[in-house]
Amino acid sequence: MTKRNIHYSYDNCFATKVSVGVVLVLYHAMSSRKFFVGGNWKMNGDSKSIEEYIKLLNDNTLPGNVEIVIAPPFVYLERIRKQLKPAVGLSAQNCYKVEKGAFTGELVAEKVSIALNSGLGVIFCVGEKLDEREGGKTKDVCFRQLASLLKYKLDWNNIVIAYEPVWAIGTGKTASPEQAQEVHVWIRDWLKQNVSADAAAKCRIIYGGSVTGDNCRALGKQSDIDGFLVGGASLKPEFLKIIEARSN
């Protein structure tokens, strides 16, 4: 039996558009700077559309140099797990910082820590609101969100960072390739200064925020953009185009 790459996630940013760190927890260790494309379906999809989408992914040849993950609504996880080919990773849209118990609160950094300590990998999202960008606070906001991780001893080999500006989530607006690249460089420099040069060189930093088949190639050409976290477009055939954004 083929072992599927199981993914888990928890979500603040997708639901509330308040970017305090979105985390997807990956079952397997991720290779160094391999292009990564994740699709978050949020609360979209029904039985018919999901069948069509699974067929689309299963029937197409996907590039082997791209790590692909989809995050459907929780109720469809088991069904999709049984039907989706192993080349595509599967993600849930929520998890908690402990294995079980009567809890309702969420704390991002603790979730990262418990996920890594459980042998999983993590995607950690940071990003600013529109007024923060217009106020020149993007760097400060992202650095503050990243700094919440420093109190824990983490395996940075299993962390992917996603820059996902809140003002670009589901709005049709997107950061320009130059704006996204600038923030990714800041994040990589933060890693070098606060974690290690090795972590800075190896950590994948991906972009999320109204990524489409039309803008993915321009974004993907930027040297510090190592992939995408895709929302609405991940439910459409153009997701295949996004997956191939780095292909020749």
Query: At 230, phi and psi to the nearest 5?
Result: -110, 140
Give the per-residue pLDDT at 17. 32
Query: So what's the pLDDT on residue 78?
Result: 87
- Could you tell me if residue 42 is inside a domain? yes
pTM: 0.83
Phi/psi of residue 159, nearest 5 degrees: -120, 130
Residue 13 or residue 223, greater confidence = 223
pLDDT for 161 = 94
9 occurs within a structural domain:
no
Name the residue with higher pLDDT: 72 or 12. Answer: 72
pLDDT tens by residue, 34-54: 999 999 888 888 888 889 999
Report which of residues 14 and 61 the model is more confident about: 61
State how beta strands 23-26 and 6-10 pair: antiparallel
What pLDDT sits at residue 11? 36
Distance CA 26, CA 94 (A): 12
> Given this model, what pLDDT does residue 101 score?
52
Helix, strand, coil share (%) of the chain residues, nearest 5: 40, 20, 45
Asked if 164 and 125 count as a contact pair (C-beta separation under 8 A), the reply is yes
Where residue 67 sits, what CATH number does that domain have? 3.20.20.70
pLDDT tens-digit series, residues 93-151: 766 555 555 444 556 777 788 777 777 677 788 999 999 999 999 999 999 999 999 98
Q: Is 128 helix (H, G, I), strand (E, B) or coil?
A: coil
The set of residues, in sequence order, having a beta carbon less than 8 Å from that of 248 and lying 6+ positions away, is none
For the chain, the domain total comes to 1
The verdict on residue 235 lying in a domain is yes
Examine residue 148 and state whether it is found in any structural domain, yes or no: yes
Give the chain's mean pLDDT.
82
Q: How many residues does the chain have?
A: 248
> How many CB atoms sit inside 10 A of residue 118's CB?
12
Q: Which two tokens stand for residue 76?
A: 């469809």
Domain extent for 229: 23-95+106-244
Residue 8, pLDDT score? 38
Q: Residue 45: inside a domain, yes or no?
A: yes
* N-to-C CA span, the chain: 34
Task: Compute the Cα dihedral for 151, 111, 123, 27 and give only its sign.
Answer: positive
The answer as to whether 236 is a domain residue is yes
Give pLDDT, residue 134: 93
Distance (Å, rounded) from C-alpha 30 to C-alpha 42?
Answer: 23
77 phi and psi, to 5 degrees?
A: -60, -50
Cα–chain-centroid distance for residue 157? 15
Higher pLDDT, 183 or 117: 183
The verdict on residue 240 lying in a domain is: yes
Q: How far is CA 174 from the centre of its chain?
A: 16
- Mean pLDDT to the nearest integer, 173-185: 95
In a domain, 3, yes or no: no
The whole-number pLDDT of residue 96 equals: 58
